[in-house]
């Protein structure tokens, strides 16, 4: 590819974590294929999807990993985290328990990954404003306390999904160059 200048190649592994049914798989399918599934079942099989993005004219491959349903068993393995340089920690703005779990997911992340990795707190399902259970301010505050980027997204109506991944990829890129 002529866009690869000087033989530089960027492949960034990004993990998506968070409680079951917060919308991790749909965020990924929205990002990688612009698809949404209202009746998505716990993910089986698909480990990751690769999406090419352009940052400063550089072709970057974002290899985004999905937990494949392991989150039900608190059994996301170290192989899942290995080599990851970015993470999206996702909760569902309409289910407070998923927000309360974020600290535990961050503990997991800190156990397995370098703390310099690019990390983004993602409040998904922003389309469910009428049954919101976690305020934007609470999300922002937690992100500030923990040193994370913060964004609210909707995999359903596409709001901020690309932006969330782009911010993380840009931060990783800035760490590397
Ligand atoms: P996962 O277990 O975290 O991978 O969650 P899924 O992506 O499988 O989504 C769980 C359920 O939430 C599915 O019924 C999705 O259709 C639904 N869902 C995912 N994202 C959104 C969203 O942004 N808004 C709404 N309203 N529903 C969503
Ligand atoms: Mg899933």
Asked whether this complex has an ipTM greater than 0.90, the answer is yes
How many whole angstroms from 146 Cα to the centroid of ligand 2?
25
Ligand 1 is surrounded, with C-beta below 6 A, by: 20-26, 37-38, 40, 43, 124-125, 127-128, 154-156
How many whole angstroms from 20 Cα to the centroid of ligand 2?
7
Instruction: Tell me the per-residue pLDDT of 58-97, one tens digit each, with 9 for 90 and over.
Output: 899 999 998 876 665 456 678 889 999 999 999 999 999 9
Tell if the pTM clears 0.90, that is, is over it: yes
Distance CA 59, CA 101 (A): 35
CB 164 within 8 A of CB 153: yes
How many whole angstroms from 150 Cα to the centroid of ligand 1?
19
Q: Which residue is closest in CA terms to ligand 1's atom 20?
A: 23
Instruction: Tell me the per-residue pLDDT of 124-176, one tens digit each, with 9 for 90 and over.
Output: 999 999 999 999 999 999 999 999 999 999 999 999 999 999 999 999 999 87
Q: What is the dihedral of CA 86, 111, 92, 165, to 10 degrees?
A: 0
């Amino acid at each position: 590819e002529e866009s690869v200048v000087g033989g530089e190649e960027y492949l960034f592994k990004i993990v998506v974590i968070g409680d079951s049914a917060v919308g991790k798989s749909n965020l990924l399918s929205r990002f990688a294929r612009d698809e949404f599934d209202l009746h998505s079942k716990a993910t089986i099989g698909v480990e990751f999807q690769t999406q090419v993005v352009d940052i400063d004219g550089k072709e970057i491959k974002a290899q985004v990993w999905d937990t494949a349903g392991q989150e039900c068993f608190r059994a996301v393995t170290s192989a899942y985290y290995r080599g990851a340089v970015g993470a999206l920690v996702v909760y569902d703005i309409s289910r407070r328990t998923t927000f309360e779990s974020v600290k535990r997911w961050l503990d997991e992340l800190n156990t397995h990954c370098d703390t310099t990795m690019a990390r983004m707190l993602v409040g998904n399902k922003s389309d469910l404003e009428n049954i919101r259970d976690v305020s934007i301010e609470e999300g922002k505050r937690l992100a500030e306390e923990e040193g994370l980027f913060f964004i609210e997204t909707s995999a359903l109506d596409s709001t901020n999904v690309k932006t969330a991944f782009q911010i993380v990829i840009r931060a990783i890129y800035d760490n590397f160059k």
